[in-house]
């Protein structure tokens, strides 16, 4: 994973999961010689209730929460050979994370499911889903539920020119992650003959053999494209291939059950340059059900719907 140099760790999950996340983050920063920032967001308080009088003093509850949370963060890592920066802000968690990414050029966000997994899937973690949908840089959601697994599963997107660069990036990240953890690498892709049900209807006039031949051509095309992608990424040349006929989300879900990976690497949008287009249908269906660690990647040129900020927010305390 030697491509990330400015890592942001969102440390707002449960303590056990967060400690596991921090261990992974420090190891990744050490391997990459990357900068590491530990980031936390405390809940904002309406202005009318933010300031309280106590013993003749006017106290700022938000400032007190920020100070308390900062002390908690620093206590989590008493000693580290990796330099760590700390920051605590108040506001909406996913908005503050994305604004900091845009402002300070982080190239990877690491987090745990927030709120913690209750239904054993990321769909129950609203803040995490916001980040997966809207964050412009890769988001690695570290799930403690797969701590004993070690395989890496890369879910390739459509075999189209508009998806080529993203598929290459997914293979590069997946192979690097597998190599770092000495894990098996698997690649999954779902193919299908578009409109097959209608083409097979008697009114269309095609014989079953003709339709089968059309489907075989689509499958062969997918196999050829996957071969080209693997050859372009040396670390992926020996990956096992799972090629399924059917809806991509269903094929990926079946592959997750079969492989039992520790981490799923996937794109969340096939095409770039689509302002306001938050996530693709396949990614949405997979992510709301998956209970594995996920490394989710946007294509180059993705435009987050979260607006840019021009000034430092009040209440922020950078350290």
| Tens digits of residue pLDDT in 209-250 | 999 999 999 999 999 999 999 999 999 999 999 999 999 999
pLDDT tens, position by position, 112-138? 887 555 555 565 567 888 898 889 999
CATH number for the segment(s) 145-303:
3.40.50.620
Q: Which of 49, 23, 42, 34 is nearest to 1 (CA)?
A: 34
**CA 6, CA 110: separation in Å to the nearest integer?**
11
> Looking at the predicted structure, is the pLDDT value of residue 33 above 80?
yes
What burial letters (b/e) apply to 235-260, b meaning 16+ CB within 10 Å? bbeebeebbbeeebbebbbebbeebe
CATH 3.40.50.620 residue ranges for the chain = 1-136, 145-303
What pLDDT score does 281 carry?
Answer: 81
> Looking at the predicted structure, is the pLDDT value of residue 278 above 60?
no
Neighbours of 136 (CB within 10 A): 17
**CA 192, CA 211: separation in Å to the nearest integer?**
12
pLDDT band with cut points at 50, 70 and 90 for residue 313: very low
What pLDDT score does 174 carry?
Answer: 94
* Residues listed for the chain: 319
Per cent of the chain over pLDDT 70 is 86
**CA 23, CA 25: separation in Å to the nearest integer?**
5
Residue pair 85/37 in contact (Cβ under 8 Å)? The answer is: yes
**CA 106, CA 96: separation in Å to the nearest integer?**
13
Residue bearing the bigger pLDDT, 304 or 201: 201
Mean model confidence pLDDT for the chain: 86
> Looking at the predicted structure, is the pLDDT value of residue 186 above 70?
yes
CATH number for the segment(s) 1-136:
3.40.50.620
What pLDDT score does 8 carry?
Answer: 97
What pLDDT score does 152 carry?
Answer: 95
What pLDDT score does 122 carry?
Answer: 66
pLDDT tens, position by position, 64-111? 999 999 999 999 887 888 999 999 999 999 999 999 999 999 999 999
């Amino acid at each position: 994973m030697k491509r990330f140099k400015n890592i942001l760790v969102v440390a707002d999950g449960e303590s056990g999961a967060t400690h596991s996340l921090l261990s992974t983050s420090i190891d990744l920063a050490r391997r990459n010689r990357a900068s590491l920032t530990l980031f936390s967001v405390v809940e904002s308080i309406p202005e009318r209730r933010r300031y309280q009088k106590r013993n003749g003093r006017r106290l700022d509850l938000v400032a007190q929460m920020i100070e308390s949370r900062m002390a908690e963060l620093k206590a989590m890592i008493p000693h580290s050979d990796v330099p760590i920066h700390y920051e605590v802000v108040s506001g909406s968690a996913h908005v503050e994370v994305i604004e900091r990414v845009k402002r300070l050029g982080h190239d990877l966000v690491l987090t745990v499911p927030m709120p913690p997994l209750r239904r054993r899937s990321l769909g129950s973690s609203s803040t995490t889903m916001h980040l997966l949908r809207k964050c412009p840089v890769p988001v690695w959601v570290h799930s403690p539920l797969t701590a004993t697994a070690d395989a890496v599963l890369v879910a390739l997107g459509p075999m189209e020119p508009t998806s080529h660069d993203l598929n290459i990036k997914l293979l590069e990240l997946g192979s690097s992650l597998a190599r770092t953890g000495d894990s098996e690498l698997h690649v999954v892709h779902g193919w299908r003959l578009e409109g097959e049900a209608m083409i097979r209807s008697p009114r269309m006039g095609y014989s079953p053999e003709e339709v089968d031949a059309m489907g075989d051509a689509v499958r062969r095309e997918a196999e050829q494209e996957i071969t080209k992608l693997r050859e372009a990424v040396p670390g992926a040349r020996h990956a096992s291939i799972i090629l399924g006929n059917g809806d991509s989300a269903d094929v990926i879900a079946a592959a997750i059950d079969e492989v039992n990976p520790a981490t799923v690497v996937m794109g969340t949008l096939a095409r770039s340059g689509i302002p306001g287009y938050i996530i693709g249908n396949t990614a949405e269906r997979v992510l709301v059900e998956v209970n594995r660690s996920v490394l989710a990647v946007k294509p180059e040129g993705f435009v987050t719907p979260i607006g840019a900020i021009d000034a430092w927010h009040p209440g922020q305390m950078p350290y």
